[in-house]
Amino acid sequence: MIKWITKLFSSTQKEENTDNRKPEVHEHPKNNIESVSKKYLIVGLGNIGAEYVNTRHNIGFKVLDFLAKKESLSFETVKLGALAEYKFKGRTFFLLKPNTYMNLSGKAVKYWMDKENIPLENILVITDDLNLSFGTIRIKPKGSDGGHNGLKNINLVLNTQQYTRFRFGISDQFKKGQQIDYVLGDWDEEEKAKLPERLEVSSEIIKTFGTAGLENTMTTFNGK
């Protein structure tokens, strides 16, 4: 009997001690989330050489040249391309024109992406698109190469299609068998007259991409 009372008392005392115990406080580990990157890699696709300067296939170069001239920036010859650094509203935009020729564009993209530690979501690739009428803009967060050799190589080197591309329409007004001549041909007079306004819009797309984000950029400019 005494043993039973002793056991009961011991058990009751244990429960009371447990009830009076302060609740455990689990502190959250220090927040190690890195601040959102404010560096952006803007890649204009094209081919180097005087014979390609004014061709439709070089619209990526042309957009970056327009922005650089407008903001009084200078391109420097660097590894795998020409680079200009543009600072705007606390962001740094690296404007890259690969010198690898179109078919090896991915090599330059990967190099500068790694060198400047730029996340995939902060990359914007500007390219021509035969499936869009002249000057039409389409911005997409991902997608296939659509038969474009520059995008094809970037997809291969980065091993992903999950990067933003800005497609600039050059239309498909060529006869059967003349696609290469058309793409590597100069703009016609009507296109030349309309280009400045389209290039102005294109330069705003770059700035909006970095300051307002992809969704707002697509909403504002797609189809314009």
Distance of alpha carbon 16 from alpha carbon 20, whole angstroms: 6
101 is in an annotated binding site: yes
Instruction: Answer yes or no: are the C-beta atoms of 73 and 85 closer than 8 Å.
Output: yes
Instruction: Name every residue whose Cβ is closer than 8 Å to that of residue 201 and which is 6 or more positions away in sequence.
Output: 137, 221, 224
Instruction: Answer yes or no: are the C-beta atoms of 126 and 209 closer than 8 Å.
Output: no
- What is the sign, positive or negative, of the torsion defined by CA atoms of 144, 146, 150, 152? positive
Annotated active-site residue 148? The verdict is no
86 is in an annotated binding site: no
Task: Tell me which of 26, 28, 57, 148 is the catalytic residue.
Answer: 57
CA 183 to the chain's CA centroid:
24
User: Would you give the end-to-end CA distance of the chain in angstroms?
Assistant: 92
Place of tokens 């996340």: 119
103 is in an annotated binding site: yes
Instruction: Answer yes or no: are the C-beta atoms of 165 and 131 closer than 8 Å.
Output: no
149 is in an annotated binding site: yes
Binding site for tRNA, residues? 52, 101, 103, 149
Residues that are catalytic: 57
Binding site, residues? 52, 101, 103, 149
